[in-house]
Amino acid sequence: MSRPRRIIVDTDPGIDDAMAIFFALASPELEVVALTTVFGNAHTPVCTANALRLLEIAGRTDIAVAEGAHAPMAMPFRGPADFVHGGDGQGDASLAPPSTRPVLEDAVELIVDRVMSAPGEITLVPLGPLTNIARALQAEPRLAANLAGIVLMGGNAFCGGNATPAAEANVVNDPEAADIVFGAACPIVMAGLDVTERIVMTGAQLDLIGEVDHPRAQHLAAILPCYRRFAREASGLDGIHVHDSTTISYLLAPQHFSHRSHQIRVDTGHGVGRGKTWPRTRPAQHGDDPWAGRPPVTILTDADVDAVVRLELGRLGVGL
Ligand code: BDR
Ligand code: CA
């Protein structure tokens, strides 16, 4: 097998973040270099504790956790999504506190250090608001040129939002940061709601995770009921949208996805559209061009749902 692809996962764990992290850790094609944390589904210190706990559960305390931003770049934090992920970000499953600690570097320092010391090798996988990534791009102007790429969960190009009618949760939690990241001069893949809301893991499939005799699967079985309750109440869904794990599925099996390529701007205004990711779908006609100079972004638009769900469940130990 070729060398594993090296990734840094920037995350706000988060129930679907936990699924994505375990999915990545169970995939030999990927080397998880570090987890960096950000506010989002919970406040940052809670997300950091969760990241540490997840690595302890997975038996991977060799992987560094670096704490990141506590608030967006240009506004106060809108507040945790406790109605989705529980007050502790992990389904109110009464987890023991972690016994490990984050490294002394903060998230931006870690990202810049690891990327610049391995030029062209590292892919960033952001699963939360893009604050740390934007700050790292600002702190080191050569960062983008030294990345293998960014594969992120966030945004909505051709569909409505989930946090507001216009916007997706990760992007609306820091639209200014997202607009910086979508302007980075490196390959960017956007796994937003266009594709993640098409990928449903059914209740019956989720039940199979609980039958797997492995600490990772048992942790997911303990935290998933909270997420399933929200999906049932919010969308009448018997199952969940597979948001964050879609990044990992794409890294492992891009052939299962269809995509379109457009430049992206993020609405950073303070009206109803705040946080909407706008693809440029027609050429500039006259006057100012807000998309000028932006790199094309690979926007995932659809997937072979059965193949993607089977891939993730298989890696989590479910025999299908
Ligand atoms: C995103 O928002 C968070 O609640 C999830 O963890 C995911 O990253 C989906 O919009
Ligand atoms: Ca997340």
Question: How far apart are alpha carbons 153 and 304 in whole angstroms?
Answer: 18
* Rg, C-alpha atoms of the chain: 18
pLDDT in tens, 187-208: 999 999 999 999 999 999 999 9
pLDDT in tens, 89-146: 999 998 899 999 999 999 999 999 999 999 999 999 999 999 999 999 999 999 999 9
Pull the structure tokens for residue 9: 């996962």
Type and span of the H or E element at 149? strand 149-153
Range of the domain at 184: 5-283+291-315
Check which CATH number belongs to the domain holding 25 and give it. 3.90.245.10
Protein residue with its CA nearest to atom 10 in ligand 1: 169
Backbone angles phi, psi at 269, to 5 degrees: -75, 175
pLDDT in tens, 140-172: 999 999 999 999 999 999 999 999 999 999 999
Among 170, 171, 300, which residue has the most ligand 1 atoms within 8 Å of its CB, making it the best to mutate? 170
320 lies in some domain: no
150 lies in some domain: yes
How many domains does the chain divide into?
1
Ligand 1 site, CB within 6 A: 14, 16-17, 41, 81, 84, 127-128, 153, 162, 168-170, 243-244
Question: How far apart are alpha carbons 17 and 14 in whole angstroms?
Answer: 5
Question: How far apart are alpha carbons 168 and 162 in whole angstroms?
Answer: 5
Note the pTM of the prediction, 2 decimals: 0.98
Confidence of residue 2 (pLDDT cuts 50, 70, 90): confident
181 lies in some domain: yes
Q: Give the atom of ligand 1 at the shortest distance from the alpha carbon of 14.
A: 6
247 lies in some domain: yes
